Amino acid sequence: MPRIRVEVDGATYEDDVEPRLLLVHYLRERLGKVGTPVGCDTSNCGACTVLMDGMSVKSCSVLAVQADGRDVTTVEGLGVDGTVLQPPPTTNQATSSARQHPLQTAFHEEHALQCGYCTPGMIMASLDLLRENPDPSEDEVREGLEGNLCRCTGYQNIVKAVRRAASDMREPAGQEVTP
Amino acid sequence: MSENGHGFGRVPRKEDARFIRGQGNYVDDIKLPGMLYGAILRSPHAHARLVAVDTSAAEAHPQVRAVITGETLAGLDLAWMPTLSGDVQAVLATDKVRFQGQEVAFVVADSHYAARDALELIDVDYEALPPVIDARTALDDDAPLIRDDLEGRTDNHIFDWEAGDASATDQVFDEAEVVVAQDVLYPRVHPAPLETCGIVADMDKVTGKLTVHTTTQAPHAHRTVYALVAGLPEHKIRVVSPDIGGGFGNKVGIYPGYVCAIVGSIVTGRPVKWMEDRSENLMTTSFARDYHMRGEIAATRDGRVRGLRVKVLADHGAFNGTAQPTKFPAGFFHVFTGSYDIEAAHCAVTGVYTNKAPGGVAYACSFRITEAAYLVERMMDMLAAELGVDPAELRLRNLLRSEQFPYSTATGWEYDSGDYPRTLRKAMDIAGYDKLRAEQADRRANGGPLMGIGISFFTEAVGAGPRKHMDILGLGMADGAELRVHPTGKAVLRISVQTQGQGHETTFAQIVAHELGIPVDDVEVVHGDTDQTPFGLGTYGSRSTPVSGAATAVVARKVRERARIVAGAMLEAAPEDLEWTPGRWVVRGDPTSGATMQEIAMAAHGSLELPEGVEGHLDATTVYNPPNLTYPFGAYIAVVDVDPGTGKVTVRRFIAVDDCGVRINPMIVEGQVHGGLADGVGMALMQVMAFDEDGNHLGASFMDYLLPTSMECPSWELGETVTPSPHHPLGAKGVGESATVGSPAAIVNAVVDALNPYGVRHADMLLTPANVWRVIQGRPFRTDLAIP
């Protein structure tokens, strides 16, 4: 079995994995990173989106061995600057912006999630979108998130949240949110 | 905190904190010590005799712990299970397979990779039989018999059901000046929640208690059904519905995979997880719609609608597993007279078996109201075209007027309240209707691109329901609620309904906050665990607010009345001399003398001398048996552009004005509407589960069962009117399914309107570019069958 060394949400893991093991299952079943879900079997839905070396990938379509030597960020590793691991929350801290990324805050405040199942992938895809385009128009957000399906929201509040987060990230309100 | 300071309003959601961090707890996130993984071997045939199932190679796999077949289950009397429609469904096939994807064997292994490997090692010998695919041939004399398992059955007929007065309706049609008739298909679609169905079954052999963590919208009903099926007593069954990644009606019933996992846990003595793939979800779990309707509308020449007549052929698949109240085999389809004052109406529904997966009621249909609303709104547009009247004008001439409520329909519903013309006018104002028509006229005159405007005015019927009329498998559709206020004024509300994203943890706390004047954050809402919550029937049919929301208001008011007695003792005043101001009981005429709910809570648990018969503490329970359904309504207007060269439809604008009575949390209502409108785009333009002549399921993955993305959805334009439900304690009506019910007709009406220059009067969903192009060419086709 191949041995891989991968950085996930700021911690390094070394594991023997079957070559056929999908990255999403490695994250979920081996590392317990169950914040990244699976929504389909044909690479369409994007629920499993994570960042690999800063680029969004659908982790159901990447083998764990392909992540060898790479830096993977899941929604669980999202901190104020998008990559820094923060301690997990212990209580209702949705409004405590110091502990969460502006995208997470904006998704909460704009009601951009309902069942929450697409949310991790949606947030990670949005992060990559904003890296490429820090000030996207509505159409650009819609196009940028075309690879992420949502069954609950009808997308509109997601678009609002991403644009709001983009604005907050360009002009951070508090000192703790330094870009 | 909220707009009015005590509960209702745009309160941000409590649920979000965990979901935005990946800290939700969905079924597939659950990992128990020693847990094994199940996988299902499925039939490649739509109809075939099962000759032999050889599991020896699979059993020899080093990581396989059990292989369960229909034969294994037959030995336990579990090869068949009851459905919510009083039929039976095969858990694992014993005699025949009756649809493609049907469950044939269940493997339990150390990992889900190993379980999938082992499926490949099972050898099944089938003898193919001719399938019934086209529902319209299911009752032919030479149609193959699907359900030969049922004693004495000789055909594929399931039921006939009718509502309304047939002879009065016939008479109206005989006298009518104008009659328009049309075959209208509502194609088979699938709710496709982003999280598929699954379970972790854990039979504890020491305590004899079965715990299942499962994707269920109705945990208490599941517990009772498991008790009935498996013979386990209910107090030894705990059903836990954790966070659910969307349900949309897909997660109401019990699926064979659940039963197999439970049997797997009993057989192995270890927890067993079963989580289906997307293709399995689409092929084998509850589909929606599949109604072949023949609609007829009768009217006077000046556009007064007099009668409606509908014949429905309902394709229910191989097992009648439709989820609906027992006495309503076609759900609430007979609400099809919609929003209009119609003197006579009649519907007749015939259900048939075909070689397809079971289902029918799902995908935010409110028990077949999607079909009913689509039918009447399509017929109204056809009548408008026949009479040469603007479709908005035709509706305004026929909509029920506010003074007619409560209104008894020709098919027996009593609509609670409505102010329809105001709501339609509001939508027309937002849309700029006259200007849109002028733009359209200009384009038609000058050969511009095709443009269509479509209206749908719907009346929903949600909140099942009065237990006298409505039950699921004999369980009356009332819901319990328990409320406990702790000494420091924090509260726990326990409810029987189960959110799948609709925000119950927030809105139900808002109801308590509204009634007791304590902060929303001080109310914890507990749901989804049958050991922890009162009995009730779960969340579907937009019934949470009408039934459980009412129960919550009632139980909170009981607590408030108890608090009044305690406050009387505290303030040394007679309870009847106290009056409620938000958060406080106050001595009438002396506003300085009062006690807050928090002070009362502490006193109720303290040493205060209470009046004779008052036990202390602050809690209450209730069961709410609704007197009627609630009838929300809405006016939707879609504006589409159609490219005649390619047939591509673009939804340019969508205006939705919903009236669901009092809005507990407008932010959440709007989110519900947004999601339902996207469903409408999906059904009208993109989604179908079609079959080829061999019964192969086409559209069994997201490669071709297309869900709308952010690109196909416009920016929704919402409006609201507020017409409270007079019988609901909060004046609130359900709303979750309204947009899914109301929106497809608006889009189809808009596309047909756009194609008016080609003489098109009707086109069946789904309106893909290819289908629209064929409609323009005047070439008839069936959208549900891949048979030329």
ipTM of the complex: 0.97
Query: Which DSSP state fits B462?
Result: B
Nearest by CB to B246, which of A107, A117, A155? A117
Question: Residues with Cβ < 8 Å from B18, sequence gap 6 or more?
Answer: A89, A116, B24, B25, B243
Which chain A residues contact residue B248 at CB under 8 A?
151
Nearest by CB to A152, which of B22, B29, B675? B675
> What angle (nearest 5°) sits at the alpha carbon of residue B94, between those of residues B472 and B204?
60
H or E element, residue B507:
helix B504-516
Output the tens digit of pLDDT for each of chain A's 179 residues: 999 999 999 999 999 999 999 999 999 999 999 999 999 999 999 999 999 999 999 999 999 999 999 999 999 998 654 444 444 444 444 444 456 899 999 999 999 999 999 999 999 999 999 999 999 999 999 999 999 999 999 999 999 999 999 999 988 665 444 43
Q: CA-CA distances (angstroms) from residue B225 to B240, B401, B769?
A: 14, 44, 45
Q: Say if CB B563 and CB B273 are below 8 A apart.
A: no
Structure tokens at B216: 């269920």
Say yes or no for a CB contact (<8 Å) between B675 and A32.
no
User: What is residue A91's predicted lDDT score, i.e. its pLDDT?
Assistant: 46
Say yes or no for a CB contact (<8 Å) between A41 and B248.
no
CA dist., res. B522 & res. A27, Å (int)? 35
Say yes or no for a CB contact (<8 Å) between B14 and A142.
no
Which chain A residues contact residue B655 at CB under 8 A?
none
Closest chain B residue to A40, measured at CA? B278
CA torsion through residues B217, B718, A145, A71, sign: negative
E-assigned strand segments in B375-430: 407-408, 414-415
Nearest by CB to A153, which of B19, B278, B674? B674
- The closest of B32, B467, B52, B47 to B261, measured between CA atoms, is B32
Closest chain A residue to B668, measured at CA? A111
Which chain B residues contact residue A104 at CB under 8 A?
20-21
* Min distance B225 CA to chain A CA atoms (Å): 26
Nearest by CB to B17, which of A39, A42, A89? A89
Nearest by CB to B20, which of A108, A141, A150? A108
Nearest by CB to B246, which of A25, A36, A152? A152
> What angle (nearest 5°) sits at the alpha carbon of residue B219, between those of residues B215 and B223?
115
Residues of chain B with pLDDT under 70: 1-6, 787-788
B window 258-277, beta carbon within 8 A of A:
277
User: What is residue A174's predicted lDDT score, i.e. its pLDDT?
Assistant: 52
Tell whether B706 lies on the interface with A, counting CB pairs under 8 A.
no
Which chain B residues contact residue A47 at CB under 8 A?
194
Structure tokens at A164: 């709001």
Nearest by CB to B22, which of A36, A41, A147? A36
Say yes or no for a CB contact (<8 Å) between A76 and B23.
yes
> What angle (nearest 5°) sits at the alpha carbon of residue B529, between those of residues B552 and B598?
40
Nearest by CB to A104, which of B21, B246, B500? B21
CA torsion through residues A141, A143, A144, A150, sign: positive
Say yes or no for a CB contact (<8 Å) between A116 and B18.
yes
Closest chain A residue to B111, measured at CA? A29
Closest chain B residue to A149, measured at CA? B709
Which chain A residues contact residue B110 at CB under 8 A?
none
CA dist., res. B500 & res. B523, Å (int)? 19
Cα end-to-end span (Å), chain A: 41
CA dist., res. B142 & res. B155, Å (int)? 9
CA dist., res. B447 & res. B255, Å (int)? 54
* Min distance B17 CA to chain A CA atoms (Å): 4
* Min distance B453 CA to chain A CA atoms (Å): 21
User: What is residue A99's predicted lDDT score, i.e. its pLDDT?
Assistant: 67
Centroid of chain to Cα B23: 26
Question: Residues with Cβ < 8 Å from B28, sequence gap 6 or more?
Answer: A28, A34, A37, A38, B195, B198, B273, B275
CA torsion angle for A32, A153, A87, B24 (degrees, to 10)? -40
Say yes or no for a CB contact (<8 Å) between B243 and A115.
yes
Tell whether B666 lies on the interface with A, counting CB pairs under 8 A.
no
Nearest by CB to A151, which of B192, B703, B710? B192
Say yes or no for a CB contact (<8 Å) between A34 and B28.
yes
Q: Find which of B710, B713, B737, B738 to mutate to test the A interface (most A CBs within 10 Å of its CB).
A: B710
Closest chain A residue to B701, measured at CA? A42
Which chain A residues contact residue B194 at CB under 8 A?
37, 39, 45, 47, 115, 117-118, 149-151
Say yes or no for a CB contact (<8 Å) between A88 and B12.
no
Nearest by CB to A151, which of B12, B248, B716? B248
Which tens digit of pLDDT belongs to each residue from B420-430? 999 999 999 99
Say yes or no for a CB contact (<8 Å) between B678 and A100.
no
Say yes or no for a CB contact (<8 Å) between B670 and A88.
no
* Min distance B698 CA to chain A CA atoms (Å): 15
Q: Which residues pair with B11 in a beta bridge?
A: none
Q: Say if CB B316 and CB B352 are below 8 A apart.
A: yes
Question: Residues with Cβ < 8 Å from A91, sequence gap 6 or more?
Answer: none
CA torsion angle for B741, B742, B747, B748 (degrees, to 10)? 70
Q: Find which of A8, A17, A38, A40 to mutate to test the B interface (most B CBs within 10 Å of its CB).
A: A40
Tell whether B704 lies on the interface with A, counting CB pairs under 8 A.
no
Closest chain B residue to A139, measured at CA? B711
A119, amino acid identity: T
- The closest of B406, B417, B727, B414 to B554, measured between CA atoms, is B727
Which chain A residues contact residue B638 at CB under 8 A?
none
With H, G, I as helix, E, B as strand and everything else as coil, classify residue B715.
coil
Which chain B residues contact residue A74 at CB under 8 A?
22
* Min distance B484 CA to chain A CA atoms (Å): 21
- The closest of B591, B595, B551 to B571, measured between CA atoms, is B595
CA dist., res. B44 & res. B4, Å (int)? 58
Q: Which residues pair with B698 in a beta bridge?
A: B690
* Min distance A28 CA to chain B CA atoms (Å): 8
Say yes or no for a CB contact (<8 Å) between B245 and A117.
yes
